[in-house]
Structure 1
């Protein structure tokens, strides 16, 4: 039987990611995963309470995640009708592109998270790239490239570089895009894991109706296995996204777990303290190892340039039950870059010992 498939779908390439299943050796409990940038302390202890009443497994979940959105309203100070919840942040990326980017021009700074490009391409978008390792240093050039009446994607802090666009610079980009009637998809999934302070532009949603902000409980609250993300935008934008999302897209367990996580007021401060100390420790220590150069990072992961090919570093570390992210799959990077997550001090020491032995 022959299937008629659009060329863009037939030629689609799945984006590579980190995580234990990317290693090829499955869910090995002995594997120390530095490839996933999740909270190094894991999930808040309160999340366990969501699993005490397992009778909810037999009940269809709230299709609109109303209770969770109420909690997110308190957490973000953004009205409930301006919040959408997704099965992970990635679902929201794809729904956004499906709703708003049909054959639009899209500008993406690279290197960055690959799903923006993937989702935009699937909807026939015409992509343009801006190569930079630190957008703060190329701000005016980037502003000049912003297309009129189209869209730009930004990741802040950026994955995989770890660089944070300062709020004053982000506001310049927002103003330029607004003047050109261009939409901004701003991924702030790691911004809660920036120890230096809050540089989010959530409070500017009222001022910029072209702005959409993506957040995730995967990174900040360690809920990667439950798949929870949320988006913030103007009321009309959220109404459209609510219409096209699949029914019951977020499980009841995931919704309850997210509410419990958001109610824990101590988890993020503890995490930020760990990230602040361990990031400095890792950068200082790895920079002293011959053949490795660390990029300064504002968040819970570090990009490293390696004289040893990245696939070789990954293979050698896997033999020691340590998984790092090979960054050759990021557009704009080559086979000389790896990325590591900031983990606990004991785990970080194991990584350092392994790197020294390479």
Structure 2
């Protein structure tokens, strides 16, 4: 690193290295060269010893890791086919031009995202099967590579198709799980599809009971879920370990298992296994003449049912009731032509 300073009338050019400071006076007074060489060498060598450290500092700022993640995967023939959803979890837009998607087969060619593609903060980008150039199998993977083609940004592998999709829960940040429903290009549906479906509070058989229903497409493990009435001094009734509810299935908790009865003005609350997350609840001010149930079954608001249907679909006002034809399979003619005056 060269620098210039004056000593009296002499302009001096000095160059410093870790070993020696070298100076060059004007041609006059050359006899001072030896003196100044020694003086400057001693004076500047120590002060310039820091130069190599300063030179080693780079002004370049390392690029922040991308905030783009694989967020949801459809591997089982969605609409119009398989797809992969990306999500930007960051606070600024991200240019994903040239990013590549690949399944578990390294003989396939990466599907490259077109030039000029950006994802807004909190935004989604979906790559359809037609753009992927390959379908996704029952036991497969999705890998997301940076534009250099080798840097792995994100990946997820599975051993069987999901009944819905695989998605991050919570959306954008959590681990992958089977979603409650496919939500291509939108926040993942990580809701628990278990609902309170029917309530008997007025002395059923053999007593009060609460019916749960799985409105989802996959079985749900409800081990440790808790039921509680409106009285917080009561203890939650915990559902036994290993209890699952099939899709479209029911689970009934009898009064003996609840550990408390249900009053004329009361509530039922369903908590997740953590004991604090409220999944569902219903309150009433008087006993129902039959039961309180969701109408339509499993999805609607609560109403007074037309009949108690413990462990089965709710009987709702306005439902068309059907029954088995009481007669036999044989068909016979009631009258011959024109007997009753028909023409």
TM range (shorter): under 0.3
Taking structure 2 as the reference length, the TM-score comes to: 0.19
Computing the radius of gyration over CA atoms, which structure comes out larger, 1 or 2? 2
Taking structure 1 as the reference length, the TM-score comes to: 0.18
Greater RCO between the two (CA within 8 Å, min separation 6)?
A: 1
Q: Give the number of the structure whose residues are more often strand, by fraction.
A: 2
